[in-house]
Structure 1
Amino acid sequence: MSKQELEVPGQDADCCSGVSEAPLDEERAAELAKVFKALGDPVRLRLLSMIASRGEGGETCVCEMTPAFDLSQPTISHHLKLLRQAGLIDCERRGTWVHYWVLPGALDKLAGFLTAPQTAGAAA
């Protein structure tokens, strides 16, 4: 899986077939499990939310996130590393601090995978 962009296995950049459209094969399930495992921890989910809330192209410094948790900075950095390995965020060191951002399209692709297709006559 690329660190630059979340690759939902079995999908083109232009195609977002959802979980309800076809059964997952073993490889797809393993790759998606890495992403969901990263999101399965409340600290990592909050960190992703803090980064994503900066908007498209927005960045957050680790120095801004650490005070929101009763955890050490190395623990926060470990959680951020797992989000990077899952292909959800990326970062850049600037002097002492590291700045994080959500990878373009990563959340949209994940949401597209989870979204069931709309059918005619479906209740809203």
Structure 2
Amino acid sequence: MPTTFYTKEHEFIRVEDGSGMVGITDYAQGQLGDVVFVELPLIGRVVTQGAEAAVVESVKAASGINAPASGEVIEVNNALEETPAIVNEDPLDKGWFFKIRLRDATELDSLMDEDAYQDYVKSLE
């Protein structure tokens, strides 16, 4: 069963069997507006927790997508390059950005679970 963790920058990582699927939350895509471009990392790239790993551009702004945890990129969602609006339509499922093989699962301890993230989002309103 996958477990999902969240950052204060509104990225998520859904972890299962030592790897994690990374994307942005529904709140983040709502704040960005219509996504028009996504730049994905290269497969094999090593990303570091908190460092920029991808870029998303919307009609409002360009934003870096930080890695919620450190690891090696093992897969990217190529569908986003042709149809970036998938991020708006289904950010938590079909709109994921990349998958990593986790380097240190203890890094996940610094992230929020679903309840803590929902409380955090409510505090922003």
Q: Same fold (TM over 0.5)?
A: no
Whose helix proportion is higher, 1 or 2?
Answer: 1
Q: TM-score if structure 2 supplies the norm length?
A: 0.29
Which one has more relative contact order, counting CA pairs under 8 Å at least 6 apart? 1
Structure whose CA Rg is larger:
1
